[in-house]
Amino acid sequence: MQETIQHILEQKFRNAFARTGIGPNIPVVLQESGRPEFGDYQINGAMAAAKQLKQNPRELAQKIIENVELTNVIEKLELAGPGFINIYLADEFLASRLGNKVLDVSLAQTETIVVDYSAPNLAKEMHVGHLRSTVIGDCLVRVYEYMGNKVIRRNHVGDWGTQFGMLTAYLLELNQNKESLQMELGDLEEFYRKAKAKFDADENFANKAREYVVRLQSGDAEILALWQQFVEVSLDHCQEVCDRLGTKLTREDAVGESRYNDLLAPMVNKLMEEGIAVDSNGAKCIFFTEDELGSKDETPFIIQKSDGGYLYATTDIAAVYDRVNNLHATRLVYVIDSRQSLHLKQLFVVAHKSHIANSDVKMEHAAFGTMMGEDGKPFKTRTGGTVKLIDLINEAITRATTLVKERNPEWSDDEVASLGHILGVAAMKYADLSKNRTTDYIFSFDKMLAFEGNTAPYLLYAYTRVNSIFLKAQSTIDAYLNKDIMITNGDEHKLALHIARFADRLIQVAKENYPHYLCSYIYELAVLFMKFYESSPILKEADLALRDSRLALAANTAKTLEVALSLLGIPVVAKM
Ligand code: ARG
């Protein structure tokens, strides 16, 4: 990939700071300008430097301006306010950065990244609570991959633990042939409900369920076979949901808790031997200092219960071991609800201090908030039940299909259905991804399906607008992508600048695990294009060179929109 604008400017100012006698400990602080009257970028580091060197900040900023070497990059620099430096990039420089190379964001230094996401418990069907992890995780996977990293998806499904004793006991109790069992498991929720009712009402059954847990955990072949059957059906359900959502997850990515079974005892032994875990009333626990956690919390990390049973925490430690030692991961990203923040903080501390993961292995919690209903409370059915994810997706598709039909009464049923599916899923994904993941957000079909504002329909529609220019010109986007561009007005400048920033934005998304940075990038791109489109004639432009240049700018917009949306897991469409 080409050196990014951010990188070029930072380097140039770094050098200028040095020439001005400012040490490397003072950051140049380069920012994208919020407003055009401040140029395209700003350098804000001169003030801090002046303070340290006890100099007048404006005079120091002026010296930096004299010392910076930016021929061919800028149109001008401007000293502003108490010592800001405003940077106006040269039109020719921007134009030279567009075309195919905008989309090349392959890093020189890549990583092996394991992304832990989706991860439902298999005892039940996927519900709305799994939407965020699935959608956010899938976007991060796409972004890391796009940048050339080796990415390994891990769907850490809950397929182990006490519920499975109950479920296998119930499965055996029904004593049916394979086909009718398949029927029985057709509604996992119902199956779980019935098993639980029996467990609560029937002492004998409850005892049997407990016995089965023990037999299951000790590898009893008969119970394992039943368990396997249950897990298979449940995984089929998950796969169906993930496919309907258009995620990259496959059955191979589902590596459940059970798969780490053999590693649990050795992990506990190791931690005990090293004195990291200690005996506490018969249980094996790890305690943390305030320093280690960054806050005071006395909750211990329990890795083995007094009855010998292992826990969620133990499995997660084993999974770190597997990911680092067998998969050779250099970075682990966990896309999990923010309510599990403490668990992950503890996990990361344990993994590092036991050297299960060396300190150069990065571990990150990409935490997310709760999805709320329009009443501002956690999303539930009208009667207060959990909403199955598949039902929610289907409703989005149905609503989108109705919209498509209304807008295009002349379309065939197939066309309507196909776009309805794409639009419904895109709307759901985009509504989620465009919010800062750390906050709760209100799920609203009406808002996400609106054709105005920061929504998937608006963006997909914007793409079709750009696309239609090429249809009208009887040409293609690809034919114009690498044609010469001349920037002749402010709207062209802003659009070109924004496109040229793609790599910098993507680097930021991958670094901070924030998909909403990418969403606002896309939205802004669409808005800037619309402004350009209104102010600058394209096909009607009489100057043919300028017409071609504008077509090239439109082609750059279309391609960037297409790639950026694809990184959210959203395909573009030719017409809407
Ligand atoms: N199955 C868990 C749950 O539903 C989420 C697992 C997340 N991944 C992990 N490695 N802990 O809460």
Q: What is the pLDDT of residues 47-84, one digit of tens each?
A: 999 999 999 999 999 999 999 999 999 999 999 999 99
- On whether the CB atoms of residues 284 and 317 are closer than 8 A, the answer is no
State the closest ligand 1 atom to the C-alpha of 343, by its place in the atom list counted from 1. Answer: 11
Contacts of 162 (CB under 8 A, 6+ apart): 210, 213
Same domain, 83 and 183: no
CA 305/CA 507 separation, integer angstroms: 43
CATH of the domain at 466: 1.10.730.10
Whether 471 is in a domain gets the answer yes
Give the pTM: 0.96
Among 114, 116, 132, 159, say which to mutate for ligand 1: greatest number of ligand atoms within 8 Å of CB: 116
Among 190, 221, 253, residue at a domain's last position: 253
Of the candidates 222, 225, 230, which has an alpha carbon nearest to the alpha carbon of residue 195? Answer: 230
Q: Report if residue 69 sits inside a domain.
A: yes
Whether 322 is in the pocket of ligand 1, judged by its Cβ within 6 Å, is no
Q: Which residue among 213, 228, 253 closes a domain?
A: 253
With beta carbons less than 8 A apart as the criterion, state whether 110 and 507 touch. no
What stretches of 175-220 show up as alpha helix (H) in DSSP? Answer: 178-184, 188-201, 203-217
Check: CB of residue 333 under 8 Å from CB of residue 513: yes
| Distance from C-alpha of 505 to C-alpha of 11, rounded to nearest angstrom | 18
Structure token pair of residue 51: 């303070």
Write down the residue that tokens 């392959």 correspond to. Answer: 106
Which residue is listed with tokens 């070109």? 496
Backbone torsions φ then ψ of 525, nearest 5 degrees: -60, -45
Q: What pLDDT score was predicted for residue 178? A: 65
Residue 13 · residue 68 · CB < 8 Å: yes
Residue 543, Cβ neighbours under 10 Å: how many?
12
The domain in which residue 73 lies consists of: 5-89
Atom of ligand 1 nearest to the CA of 129: 4
Distance CA 334, CA 344 (A): 8
Contacts by residues 192-197 (CB-CB < 8 Å, ≥ 24 positions apart): 192/123, 192/124, 192/163, 192/167, 194/170, 195/166, 195/167, 195/169, 195/170, 196/166
Residue 555, in any domain of the structure: yes
Q: Which of 152, 312, 335, 363 to mutate to test the pocket of ligand 1 (most atoms within 8 A of CB)?
A: 312
Cβ–ligand 1 distance for 316 under 6 Å, the answer: yes
Distance of CA 333 from the midpoint of ligand 1 (Å): 12
The residue whose CA has the least distance to atom 4 of ligand 1 is: 120
pLDDT less than 50: residues of the chain = none
Instruction: Give the pLDDT score at 176.
Output: 64
Answer yes or no: is 550 within a domain: yes
Residue after which a domain boundary falls, among 203, 221, 253: 253
Is 224 a member of any domain? yes
How many Å lie between the centroid of ligand 1 and the Cα of residue 18? 49
Query: Domains in the chain: how many in total?
Result: 3
The reply to whether 462 and 559 lie within a common domain is yes
Report CA(154)–ligand 1 centroid distance (Å): 11
Contact 84, 304 (CB under 8 A): no
State the Cα angle at 70 between 68 and 75, rounded to 5°. 120
Provide the 8-state DSSP code for 260.
G
Give residue 248's pLDDT. Answer: 98
Residue 67 forms part of a structural domain = yes
Is residue 336 lining ligand 1, measured as CB closer than 6 Å? yes
In a domain, 292, yes or no: no
The Cα–Cα gap between 206 and 196 comes to 9
Residue 150's pLDDT is what?
A: 98
Nearest to 149 by CA among 362, 357, 306: 362
DSSP code of residue 127 = B
Compute, in angstroms, the gap from residue 157 CA to the centroid of ligand 1: 7
**Interface confidence (ipTM) of the complex:** 0.99
